[in-house]
Structure formats: C-alpha cells, structure tokens
Structure 1
Amino acid sequence: MTEQATRVHCDPEKKHDFVLLFDVADGNPNGDPDAGNLPRTDPETMEGLVTDVALKRKVRNFVAAVAGDEDYADRREALNIYVEHKGAALNAQHRKAYRAKGIATSEPSSEEINDQSLVEPFSRGLPEGFTLNEPTGESQRHRLTYSGELSTKDLTAALGAIGEQQGPAARKFAERVAKKAKKVDPTRKQIGDAREWMCQSFYDIRMFGAVMTTGINAGQVRGPLQLTFSRSVGPIIPQDLAITRVAVTREEEQDKKETEIGRKTLIPYGLYVGRGFFSPHLAKQTGVTAEDLNLFWDALVYMWDFDRSASRGTMSPRGLYVFTHEKKYGNAPVHELFERVNPSRREEVASPRKFSDFVVEINESDMPEGVTLTRVLG
C-alpha cells in the first residue's frame, strides 16, 4: 500500500463527503441533447449544470488509461471498466462472470449432420454460438452444436449470417438445432457468485454500483460512491456561435461554394461545484480498497487532461475538499460540512472570465469533533 493510500481520506472503512470545484473557459462542459447540445442550465436561475454521469465517464476513462501503467501491474485485473466508452455490450460483461465461475446459462444442443453436403459449408466458419464437431467414436458423422447462450436478437443475426454464407439448407438445419437448446435459470447463489466476481473485476462497479439484471443476470450492486449534479457559482451565458469550414460535404456542391457554416456552443467561463458521498457500509459489500479510493481522488484531479477536446475548451480542477468522519454513520450533518466550502464571485467583478475572479472561503474553525478536513487540492 502506498503512503498516499494510507492517509485518512483513503480509508474505505470511514465515511467521506467531499466538495469538488472545477471550471471551464470557452467551452461546453456538458451539452444538453434536448436543447441542441447547448450547455446544460437551470432554466429558472440560468446556473450551469454538469451531470454526475458526465463526471463518472471522465473517471472511468482515467482509470482505463492508467490501468496499464506499471504502478498498477499487481491490480490490473481489478481495474477493468464495466461501462466502457466504446466496447463490449453489458450482457457480454456478465457472461465473463458466468464463465469465470463455471455457471451455465443454457443447455447446449447438437445434432448429427446426415447430409454430408452441409459439412463443407459449415467448415468454412460459423458465427459465435455455433460449432462444427469432428466425428468421434463409432460415429462417422460431424455434429453441429449450438451453445444456447445467444440472446434472441443475436441468434437471429447468427442464423441470418449462416443463411447468407452457408446457404438456405444450412440455415434450416441450424435453426432446428437451435430450437433444441434450453435456457437455464441461475440459482440465487450463482447470481451472488457472479455479482461478487463483477465487483472484484470492475472498478466502476465497486465504486459506483450497477444494475446487472438485463439478459444474463449478475445481480444489482449499490455503489458506495455517489455524485450529485454540479452547479455553477452564479448564472452562465450559453452561446451558440457560427463557424465556417473550408470544405464542403457533397461533391456536387464543390463548384458552387467554398465553405460551409457550422455551429459551436460554449460558455465564456463558469466555476462549478460538485458534491459526493462515500459509504463505508456499502464499500465493505463491494470490496473497495484504500488503493481504489486513492485512485478516485487522483482521477478527480487529473482526469481533465485525459478528456481534452476543442468543444470542451479548458476544463480544470480548482479544489477538492474531503471531510472524513470517525464514526461510520457520520460525526456531523453533511450539509453543514458542505457549507464550510463557500466559493463566490468577487464583488468588483461584473463578468467573471477566470478563476481569480472568484474567492473560495474554507471555514476550518470549530470543526465538529471526529471530522477531519483534507485539502486534496486547493
């Protein structure tokens, strides 16, 4: 365990509540698809909003990026990401748990191929779920086996592929084999075993939780770490700007025009406040370690550099304040602790455009007994 991971704010057996400050300059921190991707706002106050999902995505991307470093070589298998940015479907992730724990999701079916003209087409390759077995024992016939694991949609696609590549007769035979397969409902213990494996293998499940009851049932996990929406300090001014592109989309318009008009949405500047909570009771259930917590705090500080884009402008962390309780159920009401971190716009500044246009007051006097404030950043 690293020295950093032994500090009080990295102890998974304690309750932690934290405040995160971050800002954006000339960018869109979180577009709203219901408003033409304009920055999210509270329509009554025009204060900016950034969803918890947007921040969790950045954390996931950071963990996925650093998991390959030598510093994490001994924990690499525990730092997989369940909700990948682009990658495996969720049911495919659940299937990994079932295979690792030896849990059957179906009873496979197979049939001897009496029509030898089908053997050659099947031997050219079959989609996932189907296997051509060589003759064994006294039988001199090949067998087609279906695992029974595919979803209805995936099975339909697999049969369609067989029809296109191996022909109608091959598809008809494969359909007959597939109908014989039976789904197997896992027991409560097996679902629990799969759930435990998922917690051990996926960082974001251990920390944020997940509903894994779709398709292949791997149970539900209530995550010990929860985030709120982040809200800007004061109103923001969403802007929709026209930009020109020195390239046209369609070839037929090449001789008619030299540029095309596009749109770009941003805010000149916004300072956002987010809040979060860590429960030691739930952390014990999911198996969160001190290293997991340390990695999370690192993510909140450094994840912004892994998520740069022209549309987001310049996003930077400006403060991370962690309140740690001695008692597992807390030593003070959380809202009172959060009120000790008070960012505000300087009175002489009419239109803030940088972080120094704000002042962040931290009240560390008369801290409730049993509560420790750690300034991770700021």
Structure 2
Amino acid sequence: MNSINNRYDFVFFFDVKDGNPNGDPDAGNLPRIDAETGGGLVTDVCLKRKVRNYLQITHPQKDEENPVPPWAIFVREKAVLNRAIVSSWDETNKGKTIKSVEEKRNAEESTRKHMCNKFYDIRTFGAVLATSDKEKVGESVDDKKLRKTGGQVRGPVQLTFARSVEPVIALEHSITRMAVTNEKDLEKERTFGRKYTVPYGLYRAHGFISAHLANEKNGTGFSTEDLDIFWNAMQQMFDHDHSAARGLMSTRKLVVFKHKDALGNKPAHELFERVTWKRTNDETKPAREFTDYEILLDGKTFPETFKVVDVS
C-alpha cells in the first residue's frame, strides 16, 4: 500500500435530532454543553470510536483475540491492550537477545511498525504502546525484567471537538417501564427512568491529516487505501451506529481541502474560514431541521455531501 503524499484539512458537519450525541458521564449522561456559550459538544474520542466501529463492521475479524492485519482494531470493546502489545513484541523479537539500550530501542521500533501494519486505528489515530510493568533501573535488560513496549505512535489523522453552530438545550424526559428488575419490586406497577435529548443541533468539527506522520519509513504507513476507508467512515458511520439514546444522527457535509504536497500550501484556519453556514429561516426561532441551515463554500452552496477542494 502506498502512503499518502499530500496534506489534508477538512471540515465535518453532522446533526442530531431528538437524541443525545455524546453523554457526559460526570453529569449523569447529560449531553455535553459548553457552560458559557450553551453550545453543544461532541468529543474527538467519540467520533474516533464511531470510525473504529465502522471498520469492525466493514472489515470484520473472525477472531478478535487473534486479529489479521491490516484491518484489525486495537482499541475495541473488552480488549486487553497490554496483551496485544506484548504479543507483537514477542512476535517481532522472537529469539533476540536484548542486553543494551540500543537493542531495546530497535526492538521497540520493530514492535511499533508491526502494530502499525496490523491495526488500522493505530495507523490512523496513533496510540501509546506501553505496558504498566516497569523494569528496575540499573539492571540488565533481559526477558524477565524487560518492559515490552512499542513506544508512542503519533497518528496522522486528528480531529477536534465538534461544536454546535448555535446554542442547544438538553431536555429531560421521564420514562416508565411496565416490567421490574428485582423480585422485591413485583408489587410496583412500573419503574421510572430518565432520558436526555437535544431537540436539534448542527455540529461542526475540524480535522487534519499529516503526510509526514503517514510516511511508511518514519510514520505509521497510513496509505491511500486507508484514507479512502476513512472518508467512507466519516460519511457512513452514523448509519451503523443507531441506538435509542442517539436519536437521528446524520453526516451532512464533509469538505476536504487537499494540498499540493506534504507540507501544504496554506494555513488550515484560512481554509476553514472559507466554509460557513447561515440560517434559511427566522433566526429568532430555534432550528429543528437541517433545512433550516445552508452550508456555504466561498459564499456559495454546493450539493455534494463529500467535496474535495484542491488548494492552489
């Protein structure tokens, strides 16, 4: 697979209707909201999780404990990360005697490359490939005391938090259930619960793809095929992530700025400023549909959901 040679910056719009796009576990799973502006928030971690889930659907593994490269997912549900790191270390350094710091550094590098080749999400987003077992300072580096790591991998693809373009509100709904959980509650007619939703919100996130960090020699080996899969994931990931909590979530616009080379032609912020939005109806009324907005590129509307713009 060929590594990418161009830098990319992109703007990503998605919306939610009658759902909770990203609950805050520290606030009773309320939708994340900026306390000062009232704007809705969705973390970059949440978006990356959906990309990983999309890969697991489109490129499934027969055995998640023994995944096959190059489409395996490192950070997945119930995964033991240290086990995967140690397994890659043992596979790439089998039979080697590691006594010096230099030999250990080479072993870590071979482990890093092996895991980048094997796991799509490491190749894309990066990872910290370290175990919690610490070797004792000053002692020889042998198999019994060795800390088997792959170092730190900087991923070429990075995302920002998504912010709603206008303030949102979080609604609390009381819900009832006719069944009970425990025997002791049999005499109760029903049980009660709560559900939180955002009536409507249009969210905007930004992303960056570095060709230098994708380079196969010194980077992760993120390829043109990996890039195509990532663009597909960004467009389709919500279609495979439905739940009662999330309501209706949809990708609305993905505008990609493709630079001429790895270094890039222009600063990202100048490109992002070319993508704007405006209301199509009375701004004093709350938006409840995507048709209440228009997304503009250089002041003009465009029909495509996925649009690539060459940066000159």
Fold-level similarity (TM above 0.5): yes
Amino acid in the other structure paired with 1:17:
D
Q: How does 1:147-162 map to 2 (within 5 A)?
A: none
Cα-to-partner distance string for 1:126-149 (whole Å, 9 max, x where unaligned)? xxxxxxxxxxxxxxxxxxxxxxxx
What is the aligned partner in structure 1 of residue 152 from structure 2?
220
Deviations 1:235-282 (A, max 9, x none): 001111110111122212212x21111000110000000100000000
8 Å contact kept, 2:93–2:107 = no
**Is 1:243 the counterpart of 2:191 in the alignment?**
no
2:276 paired residue among 339, 342, 351 = 342
Match of 2:86 in 1: 95
Tell me if structure 2 keeps the 8 A contact 1:29–1:39: yes
Aligned partner of 2:195 in structure 1 is: 264
Give a deviation string over 1:5-51, Cα, whole Å, max 9, x none: 9xxxxx71100000010000000000011211100011000000000
> Which of 293, 302, 312 is equivalent to 1:358?
293
Partner of 1:77: 69
> Hey, what's the Cα distance between the residues in 2 that align with 1:251 and 1:51?
40
Matched residues in 1 for 2:299 and 2:103: separation? 53
Shift, 1:336, TM fit: 1.0
Match of 2:135 in 1: none
Q: 2:253 aligns with which of 314, 319, 334?
A: 319
Which runs of 4 or more aligned residues in structure 1 lie more than 3 Å from their structure 2 counterparts after TM superposition?
102-107
Aligned AA (2:90): R
Alignment of 1:199-218 (within 5 A): 199-215=116-132, 216-218=148-150
Alignment partner of 1:25 is 2:17: yes
- Structure 2 residues not aligned, in runs of 5+: 62-66, 133-147, 301-306
Q: Tell whether the 8 Å contact from 1:27 to 1:267 is kept in structure 2 after alignment.
A: yes
Deviations 1:172-193 (A, max 9, x none): xxxxxxxxxxxx9971111110
For 1:271 and 1:293, the matched residues in 2 are separated by 25
CA contact (8 A) 2:85 2:129 kept: yes
> How far does the alpha carbon of each residue in 1:308-361 deviate from its partner, in whole angstroms, 9 at most, with x for none?
100000000000010011132211111111011112333515111110011111
CA contact (8 A) 1:19 1:275 kept: yes
Letter in structure 1 aligned against 2:288: R
User: What is the number of residues matched between the two proteins?
Assistant: 277
Task: State the alpha-carbon separation in 2 of the partners of residues 359 and 265 from structure 1.
Answer: 27
Within a 5 Å distance, the mapping from 1:1-378 to structure 2 comes to 12-68=4-60, 77-84=69-76, 86-103=77-94, 187-215=104-132, 216-255=148-187, 257-284=188-215, 285-349=219-283, 350-363=285-298, 374=308
> What is the alpha-carbon root mean square deviation over aligned residues?
2.5
- Paired with 1:321 and 1:100, the residues of 2 have a C-alpha distance of 41
For the residues of structure 2 that align with 1:364 and 1:348, how far apart are their CA atoms?
A: 20
- Tell whether the 8 Å contact from 1:18 to 1:322 is kept in structure 2 after alignment: yes
1:347 & 1:360 partners in 2: Cα distance? 14
Would the aligned equivalents of 2:281 and 2:292 in 1 still touch at CA under 8 Å?
no
Q: Which one has a larger percent helix, Structure 1 or Structure 2?
A: 1
- CA distance in 2: counterparts of 1:26 and 1:104, whole angstroms: 57
Asked whether the 8 Å contact 1:62–1:306 carries over to 2, the reply is: yes
CA contact 1:243–1:262 (8 Å) conserved in 2? yes
The 8 Å contact of residues 233 and 344 in structure 1, kept in 2 or not, is answered as no
Give per-residue Cα distances to partners, 1:55-108, cap 9 Å, x unaligned.
Answer: 000000111111149xxxxx9620100101x1321111102212321347999x
8 A contact 2:276–2:299 mirrored in 1? no
* Contact 2:68 2:118 (8 Å CA) reproduced: no
* Contact kept in structure 2, 1:243 and 1:264, CA below 8 Å: yes
- TM (norm. structure 1) is 0.69
Structure 2 counterpart of 1:154: none
Q: Secondary structure at the match of 1:244?
A: strand
- DSSP 3-state at the match of 2:245: helix
Q: Matched residues in 2 for 1:37 and 1:209: separation?
A: 28
Looking at structure 2, the residues matched to 298 and 258 of structure 1 have their Cα atoms a distance apart, in angstroms, of: 47
